[in-house]
Structure 1
Amino acid sequence: MSALVLGTVVIAVVGGLAVLIAGLAGLAPLALGLGFAIAGGIALFVQPFLGVAALATFSQLDAVEKLFFGFLPVSFFKLVGATLTLAVLANSIRFREQFHSVMRNPVIVMGLVFFLMTLVSMAGAEDKGRAISSVISSVSLILLLMLVTILSNTKRKVVIMLWILVGSSFVSAMILLVDVTLGVQLVAQSDAATTARTAEGVTRSSGGSDYNPTTAASMLLVGVIFALVHSFESPVWRWRLLMIAGIGTAAVVLSFARSAALAYFIIGLALVWRYHHWRYLPLGAAGAFCVGLALVPFVPIEYWERLSSLMSGSGDPTLGRRFTYNVIGIDLFVHHPLFGVGPSNFVHHYTNIEYRYLPGRTLLGRELHNMYLSVVVQYGLLGAFPFFAMLVLTFKQLRTVSRIPSTEALRVYAVALSYAIAAYLLASLFLPNEYTKYTWLLPGISTALFIVNERERIR
């Protein structure tokens, strides 16, 4: 009997007994919940890709996930991640070839090295509680990176993961537009997503995410840019993808996220340069300009005020705080250059008395809103190197797929994903995204695309 069949039988028998006992004890809701949990566990053991597809979907739509699974005593992501890890071990023979390819891939190697450096950096942290909590979160993120890469082991599965990025952005954009238009809050529940609604003088929404609106906008941008570039590169679903990109663009604007708007603008310039020889570019640019001009009256005045504050530097206290974050971060790096101050320990040092006179500093700990400087400060140069190498190698692999594709479709996917990840990483200049799931999900999908392309090309 194979390990997969044996594991499924054990889960079914033990789970069935648990349901029976709960039912006999008169705990009907518990029995019902156990029944669904057992059915889900068996499904993940039989077809673990369903689990990793769910993780990818709810990485952005985590507020939606909490509507369905918020009653669980443990995190949905941790529960599914642990189940998938067991499923991969039970299916070790089935995934042996993919596992070997994954463990030899430089992106995965750099991700694992970075995790090891978090353990080294943790040893020197002053706030051990925050450091340990951060390392535990890092375990989930590393598992996400590896599970996505291992289980997306065919061209069809990789394509599904890519369209999940577009679909989740579209759903989040629609929720955001409804929130802003009707002044409601459909799914967001966390303090990060809800306190920013009126804290900055505007009504904001995180869409289908429970992250704060600015971080949610950076994830939303991934699907929007992917859809936009794919529509330029291929006629497949062109008008549908342009519609999704248009709706997503409106959502990015109404998220009031300046970092996402700036990243979108820079990627837009890069796309104009890429397609400057395209014969339809003047017509497309004129059409986009006319549509944009027609929509200007519908853009809230507060949005223009937030953008203008980037130039004037006045009227927005958050800009002063962000300047202070970077000043403190640079000072901490100078004093801890090799191993950093420890995972999540910037928050601890932010309130040090020597920084009390810096503009915009508060008495509450804050994160450093710059992913790259944040990694350098908290993990030092020795920890930052594998993290940055992981991101650089991700682009290198996508470039390889776009230059030597096994099929035209994979070339289009590689190009679109490159620009989508670039937009996300540009927005991360203003966000502490090192612990955001998309920072690890996107390299995982890119690596899976690279491995599948190499395998298809050899065949």
Structure 2
Amino acid sequence: MSRTPSDSLPDPDSTRRLLVWAIVAVALSALLTVAGGGMPVLLVGVVLVFLLWTLHDPMVTVPLIVLSQVIWLIGNYAPGGVAMLSPSKLALLLALGVWLVHALREHIPPTYAPHMLPLSLFGLVVLLGPLLTPVFDDSITGIGKYAVMFLPYLLIANLAISRRGLTIAAASLTLTATVSAGLAMVERFLPGVQLAFDGIGLGAHVDDNSLSTVIMRVTGGIGDANWFSYTMATALPLCLYWWRAYPGFWIRAAVAGAALLQFAGLIFSYTRTPMVGLAGAIVLLVWLRRIALGPVIAATVLAAATAPLWLPEGFIERFTSKQYIEEGSTPMRREIFDMALDLVMDKPLLGHGYQQYGPQFIARSTSEIGAEWERRDISGDEPAHLLRAHNLYLDIWVQHGLIGLIPLMFAYALLLRELLQIARADADSREGELAACLLACLVSFYLCGIGGHSQELKIFWIMAGLAAALRRVFWSHGPSPVPRT
């Protein structure tokens, strides 16, 4: 008979057994260390204890998944150049193994949500890419890329299926975004600190394009200033969940600090689109009555009036100057969007294949921008496939056609509907609060997609998995009340 995991901690008997196994593992490793003339075999015992711990409590793997998937600097370090030894891959394999063992042992059925059906259809389109498009090798690459996005989504959806699991997953997301924002502050204020693995490094990017002052755009260990800013804008609304669902002084103080740090990271990324995403999230939260309109208006007016005092140098110029609009990235984006429209009109149904926007742009462009990208591609500085449509929806359409775009957009819409149902079903429960804030997170992400090809951003897939787990917990366990002070 199948069952759903309880919210309690593992039972005392299994905990005692785990402690006995841990003591035996450490003792055996110590004996092997002595017998081996001091070789650090003790590390084997530490690893073994951790593996036993994950089998005892699979939720231990959730923070590992979130941290290694979201922060590229941490997740993509590959010892000896072996990709399968990177923390992100090891975390996924470990979590997959312990989930399967736990699910089979406890007879726990997999999580299902309505949005999974169109999402599966999109996955099928990706799998059929080698047959549907003429770019076999790149389509195979696309299958691999989407596999490492679908897997954390499925793992979170099937691991965080208790109230405790939801709390751990949501806390992991907020903590990871805060760590990334902290790394951004290191980039901004301690530029001498350098940390890099396999070309992915901690360090701000210099951007002096069409500005009277040189600016440093932080990346927060994610490797790209734009993706970092989308991550901050997507994660920020989740801070409101902790503020409303856990009304203790110290928790609220920590949450306020995390929110300020994430917002500072967003500002120092010097990116425009996430501001639109964050504004959309705030409007939604006002509509859902999670925040009051009056304080929002007052805070907006105060922020606008004092902006010259606290905004970093070059921020206002980058956002509002006529010179930047005429000579900066705006004209390039206009050409990129126009080319994307031409490409989707050329092959609207099946698309051109995974990461084919860049090669098609270079082949078709007659401007200096196209020539410059061709020079970068030939020199190896920036391969052609790195040039994308700078718009999530156009980028999916160019690559996978309408047969990929339509089911993915349907899945996006169903995600919002599922969360809205929970938020309205019991607005005063912790699950209702989490649903409302996740709804705002996704709206922010969708709006960020207008200005960036962010469909491969891992935080979205993890949040989608959390939304699926939340739906399962809410409709099977019922709501849990929020203590009011």
- Short-chain TM bin: 0.7 to 0.9
| Amino acid across the alignment from 2:281 | I
Per the alignment, do residues 276 and 41 of structure 1 end up closer, same or farther by CA in structure 2, a change over 3 Å counting?
closer
Cα deviation, residue 48, structure 1: 2.4
Among 211, 217, 231, the residue aligned to 1:204: 217
- Show the counterpart of 1:344: 355
Distance 1:412 1:191 in 2: 40
- TM-score normalised over the length of structure 2: 0.79
| Amino acid across the alignment from 1:246 | L
Distance 2:200 2:115 in 1: 31
Task: Trace 1:4-83 onto structure 2 (pairs within 5 A).
Answer: 28=39, 37-65=47-75, 73=82, 74=84, 75-83=86-94
Cα deviation, residue 340, structure 1: 1.2
- Show the counterpart of 2:131: 123
2:316 aligned counterpart, secondary structure: helix
Distance 2:46 2:222 in 1: 25
Task: Trace 1:382-393 onto structure 2 (pairs within 5 A).
Answer: 382-393=403-414
Among 437, 442, 445, the residue aligned to 2:458: 437
Gaps of 5+ in 2: 1-13, 19-23, 209-213, 378-383, 481-485
Cα deviation, residue 196, structure 1: 6.2
Whether the 8 Å contact between 2:194 and 2:203 is mirrored in structure 1 is no
Cα deviation, residue 304, structure 1: 1.1
Distance 1:347 1:43 in 2: 46
Among 375, 383, 389, the residue aligned to 2:396: 375
For residues 213-239 of structure 1, the C-alpha deviation after alignment (integer angstroms, 9 at most, x for no partner) is: 110111122222221466468745445
Per the alignment, do residues 95 and 252 of structure 1 end up closer, same or farther by CA in structure 2, a change over 3 Å counting?
farther
Distance 1:22 1:348 in 2: 55
For residues 237-294 of structure 1, the C-alpha deviation after alignment (integer angstroms, 9 at most, x for no partner) is: 445433432332222111111121232234344445555994xx54564356446644
1:177 aligned counterpart, secondary structure: helix
122-131 or 229-238: bigger deviation: 229-238
Gaps of 5+ in 1: none
Whether the 8 Å contact between 1:120 and 1:339 is mirrored in structure 2 is no
Per the alignment, do residues 19 and 145 of structure 1 end up closer, same or farther by CA in structure 2, a change over 3 Å counting?
farther
- Show the counterpart of 1:179: 187
Identity of aligned residues (%): 18
| 2:433 aligned with 1:425 | no
For residues 135-179 of structure 1, the C-alpha deviation after alignment (integer angstroms, 9 at most, x for no partner) is: 112112111111110111101111221122222222222221232
Among 447, 450, 453, the residue aligned to 2:474: 453
114-123 or 288-297: bigger deviation: 288-297
Per the alignment, do residues 18 and 181 of structure 1 end up closer, same or farther by CA in structure 2, a change over 3 Å counting?
closer
2:327 aligned counterpart, secondary structure: coil
For residues 307-328 of structure 1, the C-alpha deviation after alignment (integer angstroms, 9 at most, x for no partner) is: 1158962231x22332222222
Higher fraction of helix: 1
Cα deviation, residue 297, structure 1: 2.1
For residues 372-400 of structure 1, the C-alpha deviation after alignment (integer angstroms, 9 at most, x for no partner) is: 11111111111112211221111111011
Cα deviation, residue 93, structure 1: 3.0
- Show the counterpart of 1:214: 226
107-116 or 436-445: bigger deviation: 107-116
- Show the counterpart of 2:3: none
Per the alignment, do residues 261 and 192 of structure 1 end up closer, same or farther by CA in structure 2, a change over 3 Å counting?
farther
Whether the 8 Å contact between 2:233 and 2:275 is mirrored in structure 1 is no
Distance 1:347 1:424 in 2: 23
Distance 2:322 2:75 in 1: 35
Among 88, 105, 108, the residue aligned to 2:113: 105
The Cα RMSD (Å) is: 3.8
Task: Trace 1:186-265 onto structure 2 (pairs within 5 A).
Answer: 187=195, 189=197, 191=199, 197-200=205-208, 201-207=214-220, 209-228=221-240, 231=243, 235=247, 237-265=251-279
Distance 1:251 1:18 in 2: 44
| Amino acid across the alignment from 1:82 | L
- TM-score normalised over the length of structure 1: 0.83
Distance 1:159 1:458 in 2: 14
Distance 2:79 2:96 in 1: 22
Per the alignment, do residues 137 and 276 of structure 1 end up closer, same or farther by CA in structure 2, a change over 3 Å counting?
closer
- Number of residue pairs the alignment of both structures matches: 442
| Amino acid across the alignment from 1:255 | S
| Amino acid across the alignment from 1:392 | A
Distance 2:356 2:38 in 1: 44
1:203 aligned counterpart, secondary structure: strand
Among 323, 330, 333, the residue aligned to 1:319: 330
| Amino acid across the alignment from 2:235 | G
Task: Trace 1:269-348 onto structure 2 (pairs within 5 A).
Answer: 269-271=283-285, 278=292, 281-282=293-294, 285-286=297-298, 289-290=301-302, 293-294=305-306, 296-309=308-321, 313-316=325-328, 318-348=329-359
- Show the counterpart of 2:11: none
Distance 1:292 1:24 in 2: 69
Whether the 8 Å contact between 1:170 and 1:223 is mirrored in structure 2 is no
72-81 or 184-193: bigger deviation: 184-193
Among 401, 415, 420, the residue aligned to 1:394: 415
Distance 2:468 2:107 in 1: 17
Distance 2:29 2:291 in 1: 66
Whether the 8 Å contact between 1:60 and 1:216 is mirrored in structure 2 is no
Distance 2:443 2:115 in 1: 16
- Show the counterpart of 2:170: 162
